[in-house]
Structure formats: C-alpha cells, structure tokens
A and B are shown apart, each in its own frame.
Chain A
Amino acid sequence: MVLCIVAFVVLGVMSVFSAKYRPLAKEAFRCVFRTVTFRPCDTGLDDRIKAEVLSRVMRFSLPAARLANRHFQTLSWVFVLLTLGSLAYSALGIYNFYQYGNCDGPQASGACILNYLTSDYGRFSSPTELIAPNDTANGIVAGDLGSNVTVVEFGCFTCPYTKQDEPAVQALIADGSVKYIFKPFPLPGHPYSRDAANAVLCADRQGKSWELRKLVFDHQEACAKGGVLPIKILAENAGLNMTQFDKCFDGNLTSSELDHYIAQGKASHIYATPTFFINGKPFVGVKSIEELREAVRRAKAGR
C-alpha cells in the first residue's frame, strides 16, 4: 500500500537518529519495493499502520474513523503526495542553504538564520528569547547622537536579508531622528562575512565605513564568492588609504573588536539577521521603512 512510502520516508529519517527505528524502516522499504513493483506488501506493516490510525481516530470520532476507513486508499495517496511535496520542499531548502546561506533562496524576504548544527552560537529561535544589549554606545554609529531613540542593528554583510533591509535602514538614518548603531554579526553560514565586517571596521577607522558598507552590499555576491580580493578592490574604490587599510585588515587589527560585537550578539541570543533593537524592543528580519518608522514613533511615545 502507498502508505508505506510515507512510513519509509518518516522512519528512514528517524532511523538516522535512532537505531530503534531501523528494523521498521527496513520493513517499510521492503513494503515500498513491493508496492512499486505492483505486488502486495507482505510485511503487514501497511495493515498495522491502518489499524493504528483508525483506532486513534475512533477514540474521538466514530464517523470520522468510518470515513477514514472507507476512503483509506485515497487518504493514503494524499499523504504520500504531501510527504513527497514536503520532501521536495526540504530538498530545495537544503540546496538554497548551501547556495545562498539561507533556506528560502536569494530573493526571499525574511532573515538569515543561524546554522544551529554547526555553530556554537546557541540554540535560540524565537524573538521572545532575545535580550536587548546593554552596550548602546559601541559599534558603527550614525544619526542624531542625542536622540532619545536608539536603534541597534545586528547585521551580517553577506546575508541577503541584511542587504535587502539596507535601503530602509539608510532612509531611517536620513530621517535624522534616531541614534543608529550597527554591530556586525557575521553568521557562520555566510562566506567571507567576517572579512567584510573587518574591512568595514577598518574603513570606519578612516571615517569611511559608510562608503565601503554601501559598496559591499552592492556587490554582496562577489564578496561572498570571491572573498578578500573583491573586498580589497571595493576598499580601494571607496577611496580608502590602502596602506593603512592593508595594515589594519591584514594585521587583523579589528578582530578583537569584531569578536566583542559577536559576543554581544550571542549574549543577546541573536539567531538571525538583521535583528533590530529599537529602544530595547527586538525586531527580527527584514522590516520595511514604514514598519521601522512606526516602531520609532512608538518608542518616542514611550510605548
């Protein structure tokens, strides 16, 4: 029966993590093999699944169980298609993750999520777990330094979402009503994000961080793929003193500063970029300029 296909997929994944499921997965495989070669499954697994499902449904509704029983084959197909669909979707997600460093593809709106499995960045995944940073002085600062609204952004230079939100961020700074602090927070899944961050911090020492930042975002893909060389070319194009820049960049002079921001990000339980704190209130992911302005308005009103 087709339900074995679902069972095989589910049990197959489970058996990767627990040996307990391996005999069942094997049984499901045998059943799938027989089903796709148009022979009845002879392990009895399909019948056992059916009985389990029906008896569970029976417990809360007999009519529902009857319906399920009468159309069991159809329902099985629906489940198979859903499973195959979600499998394909997961595969696409994995492909995107490797290609673009996020699961949703290059143009998706959202946030760049940490790769939990490979990082030591912690295991937070909800805005409710975020903690506003204490340090609202250090970082790359812009805007009205005396404003009573402080916007802290944790961003990753090779994250497509941090880039996507950049026009809104620039517009907000241009409004001139907030104090804006950028804390670079390179995510492990994004190549050369650390180098880009160090380059921008070096540029900041020459008072030219905004120029380089713009170029890095404009040529994000080149930086993410090419690394140090395109970053240096962009630094030159940004009009930096390259002797000083090389000394700073090659000498890792901003490394400890960057580590400091990363540590702050971890302490704030950052799990995705961009993440904003507007007077301590967190906002995760790409926010439109309207959303940012509304948040600032509320912050000004003390809400």
Chain B
Amino acid sequence: MNVRNDFPILGKYPSLTYLDSACTSLKPRAVIAAQDEYYEEFGACAGRSAHSLARKTSGKIEECREGIAKFLGAKAGGLAFTKNATEGLNLVANSFDFSKRRQVITTILEHHSVLLPLMRLRDEGKIALEMLRPGGDGMVAIEEWELKIDRNTALVLTNNANNTTGIGHDANAICKIAHESGAAVCIDGAQGVPHRKTDFARSGFDFLCFSGHKMLGPTGIGAIAMGEEWVGKMRPFLLGGGTVKSVSEAKMEMLPSTERFEAGIQNYSGIFGLAAACGYLNKIGMGKVEEHEKKLASLLAGALEGVGAKILGNPRAQNHSALYSFNVAGAKPHDIALLLDRKDIAVRSGFFCAQPGLEALGARQGAVRASCYVYNSEQEVKRLGEALQEIGKLY
C-alpha cells in the first residue's frame, strides 16, 4: 500500500515511524482540505437559517451524514454526530432506559470511556454492573458471555477491537446471544471501525460509537450509529439549540430524528473531514486495509517475539489487529517509549486509558503499545524490532 505521500506530516518528518495510530491516526491531505472547505466555501450553520449559504451547508451536512452512514452500513436516520467515541458511550450510558432491566454487562478490558460512565451509574445505584474477566489469552470466553447474559440484562457493552490487546471479541456472536435474551448491544468501535469493514445493519448492533480521529479524520468529531427504533427511545442528555421541534413556556417537544442528540452548533468542518476520511478509506477499500494490517500484525508479532517481549494477550489470536501491547526486559514502559522516541519511533506507553484491563492482564506498571495503520510499512515494523533488540541489551 503506498499512501505515504498523502500524509503531509510524513513528508515533514521523513524519518518518523509512527506506530501510535491507536491513540490517534495521521490525517491525509484530503481530510485537511475538506475541513478547510467548510470554512472557505460554506461557513454557515446547518438546519437553522433560511439563506442560501445555510441551505447549502445543511445539504452538505446531510450528504456527509449519508456518506458516513453508508461507510458503516448503517442508516443515515440513525446516525448522530458526537465529539468522539467517548461522547457516544456516555450518551448510551446516560440516555438508555434502565427502568425495566438494570443489569449491564461489559468486560474489565474496556476503555475508561466505557467503564467510567457505567461505574458511576453503578455507584449511584442506577444499574447493576458486571465486568467479565479475561482468561490468559486476553479474551472473555464466549461461554462466559452466554452464562452471564440473561433476561435481567438491559445492555451489553464491549468493543470489537481492543485497544490494549488488539484482539476483538466476536461482536456478532455476542450480539446474537444478547438479542436472544432481549438485551441491547452497544459496541465501542473506536478501534474496530477504522480498521475493518463495518456492517452495522448486518451485525445487528443496537449502538456503535467511534471517533473520527482514529480513522484518518479530524479530532473533535465522532458519531454514534443506532438502530432507528432507538432514536425516539433515548433520552438526550444534552439539551439545547437544534434538538427540539417546538418549545413553549410549559413544554418542549424533542425532535424525533437523531438531531435531538446534536445540541448546539455542530463541528461542521469536522463533519466534512470525517466524511472525507470515510471517502478516503473507501477509495483504498476496507478489504485492502484489513489485508495490509493483517500482514503487519503477523510481522509485528514476529518482531516482538523475536526480542523476547512479553506480549499482552494471545499474539496469534484470530483477527488480531496490527496493535500489540508488550513489555521488554522488565523495563519501565515509558523508558522504552522514550528510547524509541530518540530513534524516531513513536509508540504509546502507560495504561492506554484502560488501567483495570492492564492490571487484569498482569501489567501493573502498564505497557508499551505499537499500533499500525494504512501508512505503515513492513520496513517500519522491522525497524521497531531492531530498535527493541538494541534497547533490550541495556537491561
């Protein structure tokens, strides 16, 4: 895959090996241009004013919504814009109706953006929270899900690609189990949506949250896709301009569409950028992206095993992302990351906003994480291996 020239930052730092795409991806020129396009050619607000620039903006925003929904295999009518995956996950936790069933099932391996809103609801006595624990392979066995999900379960929340282990649970299978018990499913797609083909409708997810910035899009924009039947049932937790049909002193009537979740003027340039990112990924083809990353994943696993790194989770798991967390020679993760940085290799170190998960996996000090995307090459993975080899000798 030869897309490096599309990323201005790689031109600016030619010797950079960027292996921190799980934190945020780099942005191609097309996305940057699309953002500017809003400011240079549209500039107005959407869904409000009647003048022609505003209408032009509204039209383009809906066009973007369509494009993004299509990218996900979802309906535009179920797509609401958010700041990021975190906002989507908070929206689900805070807007879901737990009055009939109050059990929520998730795993301890989830990102803080999943865990914290749920933990607070638990502490406030609003839900009963069950955090499933992984086995030695870094996965919660499917039997465990079957055992725990029952007719008390209101909501199942998990990811389809984990940001620590790089292993995704089989979201489709979990979805089936949940639906059999009448529970809803929310997928944290922050690490899944950018890297593999998503088919929201076919998978049967009820909610899917993700961030634009991890999929070549701008920061500050994300979206939640939901089954259209959920739109009217969810109680928006942010209210304001653009969310209501009519308001009188005594009463407000919320909009029936997903705009009820989009309070206030939206991040239009971000929406332009996110749509451009989807377009860019479509042009490459998500199949190609998956294929490329599969190759990088197996190389990465090999390189890490070659230097004797302690990898979190089963490195040879099926559908492993090109994302691995590991520790080297008992060294502090930050030290490894800083030494790699001196060799122009950018990786993440620490707890990746998933501290309970890292502790459950036995990485009390945290870990180092290398994650790839479309612009990474096999040589870069090799370079990481060589650098780790050398750094390992210091310990």
Contacts and interface: CB of A to CB of B under 8 A. Distances in A.
Interface in A49-95: 50-52, 54-55, 58, 62, 65-66, 69-70
Contacts of A70: 394-395
Contacts of A47: 332, 334-335, 338
A74 B12 CA distance: 39
B390 interface: yes
A40 to B, nearest CB: 11
Interface string A21-62: 000000000000000000000001001101110110010001
A52 to B, nearest CB: 7
B342 A52 contact: yes
Contacts of B341: 51
B120 interface: no
A51 B390 contact: no
Nearest to B341: A51
Contacts of B343: 55
Interface residues of A, number: 14
Interface in B330-349: 332, 334-335, 338-339, 341-343
B394 A65 contact: yes
Contacts of B338: 47-48, 50-52
Interface string A171-188: 000000000000000000
Interface in B293-346: 332, 334-335, 338-339, 341-343
B393 interface: yes
Nearest to A68: B394
Contacts of A51: 335, 338-339, 341-342
Interface in A283-302: none
Contact of A55 (B332, B334, B342): B342
A50 B335 contact: yes
Contacts of B393: 62, 66
Contacts of B342: 51-52, 54-55
Nearest to A51: B338
Contacts of B394: 54, 58, 62, 65-66, 69-70
Scoring B342, B343, B394, B395 by chain A CB atoms within 10 A of each residue's CB, the highest score goes to B394
A54 B334 contact: no
The SS class assigned to the A binding surface is: helix
Given A44-B334, A47-B332, A47-B334, A62 B390 contact: yes
Contacts of A50: 335, 338
Nearest to B391: A58
Contacts of A58: 390, 394
A187 to B, nearest CB: 48
Contacts of B335: 47, 50-51
A66 B395 CA distance: 6
Interface string B378-395: 000000000000100111
Scoring B332, B334, B339, B390 by chain A CB atoms within 10 A of each residue's CB, the highest score goes to B339
Nearest to B340: A51
A54 B390 contact: no
Contacts of A55: 339, 342-343
Contacts of B339: 51, 54-55
A55 B390 CA distance: 10
Nearest to B331: A69
Scoring A48, A52, A55, A70 by chain B CB atoms within 10 A of each residue's CB, the highest score goes to A55
Nearest to A57: B394
Interface in B350-394: 390, 393-394
A7 to B, nearest CB: 15
Contacts of A54: 339, 342, 394
Scoring B332, B341, B342 by chain A CB atoms within 10 A of each residue's CB, the highest score goes to B342
A129 to B, nearest CB: 40
A54 B390 CA distance: 12
Interface in A117-143: none
A66 B332 CA distance: 15
21 contacts: A44-B334, A47-B338, A48-B338, A50-B335, A51-B338, A51-B339, A52-B338, A54-B342, A54-B394, A55-B339, A55-B343, A58-B394, A62-B390, A62-B393, A65-B394, A66-B393, A66-B394, A66-B395, A69-B395, A70-B394, A70-B395
Interface of A: 44, 47-48, 50-52, 54-55, 58, 62, 65-66, 69-70
Given A51-B335, A54-B394, A55-B342, 16 more contacts: A47-B332, A48-B338, A50-B335, A50-B338, A51-B338, A51-B339, A51-B341, A55-B339, A62-B390, A62-B393, A62-B394, A66-B394, A66-B395, A69-B395, A70-B394, A70-B395
